[in-house]
Amino acid sequence: MRHQELKQIAKWFLAAGVSDVTGEVSAVQRKSNRSIATLAELKESMMAVDISLKKCARNMVFGSGNEHAKVLLLGEAPGEEEDKQGIPFVGQSGQLLNTILAAVGFDRTMVYITNILPWRPPGNRTPTNQEIEVFRPYVLKHISLINPKVVVCLGGTATKSLLQTTQGIMQLRGKWTSVEGISAKILPTFHPAFLLRSPSQKKDAWHDFLEMAKEIRDE
């Protein structure tokens, strides 16, 4: 798309009062032009994103774990406890995640964890499509900087966002897939919060994590 056309589209959004979108798009373009080369630069760049979402949040939740991990777990967005501590998956869902990891011989020092959104949506609401779009380029950059062998998508929102699909998690879970721009193999599975509500699905999630562990051991 030519520069002139992009400017027209940006103007159209501005005229429609969608200042968030135009602000974010230009921020992402500015940063990608500067070519982010480290996690510290990525974090700084994400901190600078001007989005109303962060006005309600206490801390940005960037990511945690082993920066050289072969496995990256991708969640949805911080909850209350994550927002307080600035660390992903430290609440109830995180405890279940730790248990699932332990069941397949892993722990938090062996994986890297981040989310689709770095800020807690007010009242834990589902991220909007607009918020997902704003942060997707950052998520892709985050994955490429960690450079894992496997990305496990936790839940429908993370899966839809990464794969840009409308298919639901029930259809996609447990099936290896890939996405343009990421060399890692991708495995969607259930979100731990869903498993807390629907314990009968734990069996399938455990199966998926076993697949992940097998993939890492076999490679």
Name the residues that contact ligand URA, by CB under 6 A: 61, 75-79, 82, 88-89, 91, 93, 115, 193
Residue among 52, 196, 200, 209 nearest 131 (CA): 52
76/208 with CB nearer ligand URA: 76
| Structure-token pair, residue 55 | 């006005």
97/213 with CB nearer ligand URA: 97
63/137 with CB nearer ligand URA: 63
* CB of residue 5 to ligand URA, shortest distance in Å: 36
* CB of residue 152 to ligand URA, shortest distance in Å: 12
* CB of residue 116 to ligand URA, shortest distance in Å: 8
* CB of residue 87 to ligand URA, shortest distance in Å: 8
* CB of residue 114 to ligand URA, shortest distance in Å: 8
Cβ(93)–Cβ(51) below 8 Å: no
Q: Which residue is nearest to ligand URA (CB)?
A: 75
Q: Calculate the alpha carbon distances from 198 to 56, 101, 158 in Å.
A: 29, 18, 19
Q: List phi, psi (to 5°) of 168.
A: -85, 165
28/77 with CB nearer ligand URA: 77
DSSP conformation letters of 83-139: HHHT-SS-SHHHHHHHHHHHHTT--GGGEEEEES-SSPPGGGPPPPHHHHHHHHHHH
115/189 with CB nearer ligand URA: 115
* Euclidean distance between CA atoms 30 and 211, whole angstroms: 39
* Euclidean distance between CA atoms 145 and 33, whole angstroms: 16
* Euclidean distance between CA atoms 109 and 65, whole angstroms: 6
* CB of residue 60 to ligand URA, shortest distance in Å: 12
26/43 with CB nearer ligand URA: 43
